[in-house]
Amino acid sequence: MPMTPEAIDAFLAEPRMAHLATVDAEGRPRVRPVWYLWRDGALWITTRQRVRHTGRDLTTSPTVAVSIASEERPYRAVVVHGRPEVIPKDRDALSDVATRYGEAQGRAFVEEAMAQDDRVILRIVPDELISWDYGTTS
């Protein structure tokens, strides 16, 4: 069963891991866990262009897919497809994403991240958003 828009907002407000999938230059999939923030109908993700190969992948294949799922029953999941806007790192935006996952650790992360020259923010407005709310996974 798909979730209602209100249920999707509530689900995405919880601080879960997101799994960001891209396609590399050889046409093979790549996926890595990332933090996210769902705000104003967009996913904000912070990642590294070189270290996580995200920048290289987006150059040849600009569409991404993102999977976010509950670990516990009842299983719920959201999958987003879209073409990210790459935003230069910004202290406030990094902090908004990172402090969802712990206030003190989030702040420490922002200091590290601001010193990483390949750190960026991806803003993804979904072209497609699929949701499930179910008792058994498939």
The site for a second copy (CB under 8 A) is made up of: 16-17, 19, 21-23, 27-35, 46-48, 51-52, 61, 63-67, 69-71, 73, 75, 77, 79, 81, 101-102, 105, 108-109, 112-113, 116, 135-138
CB closer to a second copy, 6 vs 28: 28
CB closer to a second copy, 10 vs 31: 31
Tokens of 91: 């202290």
Please report how close the Cβ of residue 4 comes to a second copy at its closest, in angstroms.
Answer: 20
Please report how close the Cβ of residue 79 comes to a second copy at its closest, in angstroms.
Answer: 6
Please report how close the Cβ of residue 53 comes to a second copy at its closest, in angstroms.
Answer: 11
User: For residues 130 and 134, what is the distance between their CA atoms, to the nearest angstrom?
Assistant: 13
With tokens 């499930």, the residue in question is 132
18 torsion bin: left (phi>0), alpha (psi -120 to 50), beta (else): beta
Please report how close the Cβ of residue 110 comes to a second copy at its closest, in angstroms.
Answer: 10
C-alpha Rg value of the chain to the nearest Å: 15
State the burial class of residue 71 (Cβ atoms within 10 Å of its Cβ: 0-12, 13-18, 19+): exposed
